[in-house]
Amino acid sequence: MGYQASENRYESMKYNRTGNSGLLLPAISLGLWHNFGGVDTYENGRAILRKAFDLGITHFDLANNYGPPPGSAEEMFGKMLQADFAPYRDEMVISTKAGYHMWPGPYGDWGSKKYLVSSLDQSLKRMGLDYVDVFYSHRPDPNTPLEETMAALDLVVRQGKALYVGVSNYSAEQTAAAVEILNRLGTPLLIHQPKYSLLERWVEDGLQDVLEQNGVGSIAFCPLAQGLLTSKYANGIPENSRAKKPSSFLSEAQVTQDVVNRVIKLNEIAANRGQSLAQMALAWVLRNGKVTSALIGASRVSQVEENVAALANLEFSNEELSSIDNILTDSI
């Protein structure tokens, strides 16, 4: 018997409106940056995706270069769509991106119209889709006019290849300029995907204000700091952790004793809240309604279950917030 989604999948998930749009996103979304590539075990990825959807996660976030090798995460997701998710396509928000190196030559990187449109065409083929729900410019291009990059986003919506558009890794100033251009073109910016966590709070210095003022949603990637905001690093670097993987963006050098000491103290607050550190870190990102969704990764089904359970307690007392800020800023 084929996969049948849980009949209770919408009962406990929280859904938030994305800026001023009509689109609701789950408070927890699943990203396929790691663990869903050609080097990974298909059945494990399949089990993670099934559990995520059964728990009400309707948003699946990809990019052209996710893998490894590049493109293989989209291929895996396309296989999963055909095998299990085809009857549920209209219950899902599927996003992809282009902006980092994807193929050789001058047309396989950054933000030209040539690259973005070609990349989306390739992504649609890999996933077996007629359209994606959200297409992102993955990073700003210092050598391509912003007007050209935004015109490419506008074009793919008019072509019916994407329903909404977003940006990722753009500064507050770049985002404000992108909003103005897209509004003029008639394709509003739906969402911004910045890196945001207890350990990386740059979005609070202007970007969140720009998003709020312009009715743009946000989805935080790396809300667990690639695993640093879990208990796994409290006693050193586990052999199977991301910090040990040569292809990871988290290096052993980032797991300093100072960071570990702060994580241990944050874990104490989480325990007093009846949460794991990962659950508290997700709740903190979602704490004031400025973040539409927290984008998690997962290598095991149990991680998805644990992360979704964070939604049971999203409230913080002023004392808790003050203690967390002190841990992050004081000398240890």
Sequence length of the chain is 332
Question: pLDDT value at position 233?
Answer: 73
User: Domain segments of the chain: what residues?
Assistant: 17-227+285-313
Encoded tokens for 8: 């209770």
pLDDT per residue as tens digits for the range 142-192: 999 999 999 999 999 999 999 999 999 999 999 999 999 999 999 999 999
What b/e string do you get for 82-98 counting C-beta neighbours within 10 Å, with b at 16 or more?
A: eebbeeeeeeebbbbbb
**Those residues with Cβ within 8 angstroms of residue 20's Cβ, 6 or more apart along the chain or in another chain:** 188, 215, 216
Encoded tokens for 257: 């004793």
Encoded tokens for 265: 């103290």
What SS3 state is found at 29?
strand
Q: Which long-range contacts (CB under 8 A, 24 or more apart) does 178-185 make?
A: 178/137, 178/146, 178/150, 179/210, 179/214, 179/216, 181/146, 181/147, 181/150, 181/151, 182/150, 182/153, 182/154, 185/150, 185/151, 185/154
17-227+285-313 in CATH: which number?
3.20.20.100
Question: pLDDT value at position 246?
Answer: 53
Per-10-residue mean pLDDT, the chain, length 332: 94 97 98 97 98 98 98 98 97 98 98 98 98 98 98 99 99 98 98 98 98 98 95 68 55 78 94 97 97 97 98 97 95 64
Residue 195 gets which letter from DSSP? B
